[in-house]
Amino acid sequence: MEDIFKKDLSGALVSPDEPGYEQLIASIFDTMKLAYELNSGYHTPDEVRNYLSRITRQEIDPSVTLLPPFYVDFGKNIRMGKRCWIQQGCTFFDRGGITLGNDVLIAPKVNLITINHDPNPDNRSATYGRPIVIEDKAWIGINSTILPGVRIGYGAIVGANSVVTHDVPPLTVVGGNPARVIKTIETQDKE
């Protein structure tokens, strides 16, 4: 029997009927309990990072700032670089894997969703994941949704209320539903 957690992260279909599915759901509820504790009451920045470390099972750099509430389903497939800033009310569904580079800015109410359902109506309860990667210095605008399998390139900006269905090239601004390239970001090299 293949480990259901590895299968889930691999992008293969995972069905509620297969062995180990109950363990996957139990793990999600364990994570939701930690998220509930994080979201109930005031916590210092260090306490918030401690909760985030427990949720992700990863050491979180002291330069990372997360402003609760924070909603997460699995938690263990989130990787964060240094100096990430995550605002209130964000939802990370990370079963497919979420990677944030260094200096990533996430505005309030952003949804990073790595899981989708089988389009076959006879197997609709089965899910599959695709990773989301947000490269260094990207900025995700308020109330945007990034869908499974999307890579946001270095320094890119996702405009407010956007739904991102495809990869975003580095140093571009995208917006809309579905998001499309609006312009290129001009940079000046400092010598």
Predicted confidence at residue 187, as pLDDT, reads 85
Q: What is the CATH code of the structural domain delimited by 4-184?
A: 2.160.10.10
CA 176 to chain centre: 19
Predicted confidence at residue 1, as pLDDT, reads 41
| Residue 43: active-site member | no
Predicted confidence at residue 84, as pLDDT, reads 98
Give the C-alpha distances (Å, rounded to integers) separating 117 from 46, 100, 105, 130: 36, 24, 28, 11
Contact of 124 with 104, CB cutoff 8 Å:
no
Catalytic residue among 57, 117, 124, 183: 117
pLDDT tens for the chain, residues 1 to 191: 458 999 989 999 999 999 999 999 999 999 999 999 999 999 999 999 999 999 999 999 999 999 999 999 999 999 999 999 999 999 999 999 999 999 999 999 999 999 999 999 999 999 999 999 999 999 999 999 999 999 999 999 999 999 999 999 999 999 999 999 999 999 876 54
Angle 117-104-130 (CA atoms, 0-180°, nearest 5)? 20
Claim: this prediction has a pTM higher than 0.85: yes
Using the Cα atoms of residue 10, residue 61, residue 75 and residue 139 in order, give the sign of their dihedral.
Answer: negative
Q: Structural domain boundaries of the chain?
A: 4-184
> CA nearest 52: which of 37, 42, 174?
37
Contact of 36 with 157, CB cutoff 8 Å:
no
